[in-house]
Amino acid sequence: MAVNVDARGLSCPQPVILTRKALQEAGGGEVVVLIDSMTQVYNCTRAAEKLGWQATYEEQIEAFALTLRK
Amino acid sequence: MKKVRDFFASRTGIIVVGLVLGGLAVTLQRLGNPPNMGVCVACFTRDIAGALGLHRVAAVQYLRPEIPAFCLGAFVAALAFREFRPRTGSAPVVRFVLGMFAMLGALIFLGCPWRALLRLAGGDWNAILGIAGLAVGVGVGVQFLKAGFNLGRSYPTRMLAGLTMPLVMAVLLGLAIYYPNAAPKPAAAAGQATAPAPTPAALFLSKEGPGSKHAPVLYSIGAGLVIGFLAQRTRFCTVGGIRDVILMRDFHLLSGVVAFAAAAFGMNLLWGQFHAGFANQPIAHTTHWLNFAGMALAGLAFTLAGGCPGRQVFLSGEGDGDAAVFVLGMLAGAAVAHNFLTVGNSVNAAYAVVIGLVVVAVIGMLGREKLSVAR
């Protein structure tokens, strides 16, 4: 699994800023974001959906992998 | 469980919680908390600093049970939803300084962002200057964030480190229950001109002034626990609300903040607690530029630290050691504010605001480090 953004350990609103930047640069396709709290899962999902991406997440050890597709 | 979790994360969830929080804040005022203060995190942390003797302004000393209850409510919510994660290491000492100056700014205005809303909802128009200042401070903070400001990553740490703040708060709560009231001043004995000094209690407690006004301790604790629990679930945050709108036109958090103010306004009307005007507002002053500048300083510092004071207390209950250090910084800031006479003295306050803005802006500039995407 390719990881495009590792935002583990970053506090608000860094994960969202990095995710938005990655999505805007990619323009489409698949982007994987690593985060470490449900707060960030919700925040990044909301930010991605606003940009027209679809999000799914998967719980890992001490992290969540958020897969964003467009 | 997932359904409950998703409800709290939804737009409806945060609006409902905003309404409950605003309603509880005004209810506590009716039960005895100072007017338009409800559950002000800055004022109450200042009162706790006073109760512990970190400053000696007799009018603002009371061990407000709401603050420890916020932390413990969030702690319970984090445990119940498996979100308690001990973590630390994201520039704690910088966060301490940010907490200090955020507190200075907030106390110059006389309130945290929550109280700014509660003051507005009570008709105190000075709050408009404060909220405008807050928005400008957050706006400047967002520019630093866009330029790459960050305080670095935190890392998982030992359970002990995550439990420390909730334990400290539990001890404070114990003290608040054990010493609910100021010791009565002993009467003068026969033949004695003046009464002897009261026996020192463990805490300094106001006999008059805002510090002496409080709801019954168990109501304060109950409301505090509920607020802590709900706010942890929804990540309710006033500074985050303004920030997300400026940063990406996201109104999620702000809708909760607006609901908070609306509920407070409605209940103030209902109970006749709404008095509109600039002059003669409770625990307020009318030096407009200081109301604006104090809150601008607070807004900038809160934005760089990632959240409003309430949010920092809730995060400390989730095991976030960096937020805990920020809260301790606020406690120190309260002591600085009163020991250096920066509150209630506009000359000193002006110096404090300027120094604060310079320090926080320097932190904002030096913290612009490019973060590597992989670690």
Render pLDDT for B82-92 as a digit per residue (tens, 0 to 9).
999 999 999 99
Chain A hits for B5, Cβ within 8 Å: 38
How confident is the model at residue B185, as a pLDDT?
53
**Contact criterion met (CB below 8 Å) for A41 and A57:** yes
Strand ranges in chain A using DSSP code E only, listed in sequence order: 5-6, 30-35, 54-60, 63-69
Q: Is the pLDDT confidence value at B194 over 70?
A: no
Q: Is B151 on the interface with A (CB under 8 A)?
A: yes
Handedness of CA B51, B54, B59, B60 (dihedral sign): negative
How confident is the model at residue B1, as a pLDDT?
77
Q: Is A66 on the interface with B (CB under 8 A)?
A: no
pLDDT-derived band of residue B191, with 50, 70 and 90 as boundaries? low
| Residue from the list A20, A38, A62 with its beta carbon closest to the beta carbon of B248 | A20
Q: Do A37 and B85 touch (CB under 8 A)?
A: yes
Q: Is the pTM of this model over 0.90?
A: yes
d(CA B297, CA B359): 10
How confident is the model at residue B202, as a pLDDT?
78
Stretch 178-237 of chain B: residues touching chain A, C-beta under 8 Å: 235, 237
Q: Do A9 and B153 touch (CB under 8 A)?
A: yes
Stretch 6-25 of chain A: residues touching chain B, C-beta under 8 Å: 6, 8-14, 16-18, 20, 22
Tell me the backbone φ, ψ of residue B69, rounded to 5 degrees. -65, -35
Min Cα distance A23 → chain B (Å) is 13
Here the CATH number for the domain that contains residue A63 is 3.30.110.40
d(CA A42, CA A51): 14
Q: Is the pLDDT confidence value at A34 over 70?
A: yes
Q: Is the pLDDT confidence value at B186 over 60?
A: no
Q: Is the pLDDT confidence value at A8 over 70?
A: yes
Q: Is A42 on the interface with B (CB under 8 A)?
A: yes
Q: Do A38 and B90 touch (CB under 8 A)?
A: no
Q: Do A37 and B240 touch (CB under 8 A)?
A: no
- The domain in which residue A26 lies consists of 3-69
Percent with pLDDT over 70 in chain B: 93
Min Cα distance B154 → chain A (Å) is 4
| Residue from the list A13, A36, A39 with its beta carbon closest to the beta carbon of B243 | A13
Q: Is the pLDDT confidence value at A65 over 60?
A: yes
Percent with pLDDT over 90 in chain B: 87
- How high does pLDDT run on average in chain B? 93
pLDDT-derived band of residue B188, with 50, 70 and 90 as boundaries? low
pLDDT in tens, B296-336: 999 999 999 999 999 999 999 999 999 999 999 999 999 99
Read off the pLDDT of each residue in B263-283 and give the average, rounded to a whole number: 95
Least confident of A61-70, B194-203, B224-233, B249-258: B194-203
For A56, residues 6+ apart whose C-beta sits below 8 A from its C-beta are A66, A67, A69
pLDDT-derived band of residue B358, with 50, 70 and 90 as boundaries? very high
Chain B hits for A11, Cβ within 8 Å: 90, 151, 154, 306, 322
In this prediction, the answer to ipTM > 0.95 reads no
Min Cα distance B222 → chain A (Å) is 25
Q: Is B250 on the interface with A (CB under 8 A)?
A: yes
Q: How many CA atoms lie within 13 A of B102 on its CB side?
A: 35
d(CA A58, CA B6): 16
Q: Do B90 and A11 touch (CB under 8 A)?
A: yes
pLDDT in tens, B26-35: 999 999 999 9
How confident is the model at residue B193, as a pLDDT?
63
Domain count, chain A: 1
| Residue from the list A3, A9, A12 with its beta carbon closest to the beta carbon of B155 | A9
Min Cα distance A56 → chain B (Å) is 14
Under DSSP, the state recorded for B362 is H
Chain A hits for B154, Cβ within 8 Å: 9-11
Q: Is the pLDDT confidence value at B372 over 60?
A: no
Q: Is the pLDDT confidence value at B4 over 60?
A: yes
A31-B233-A67 Cα angle (round to 5): 10
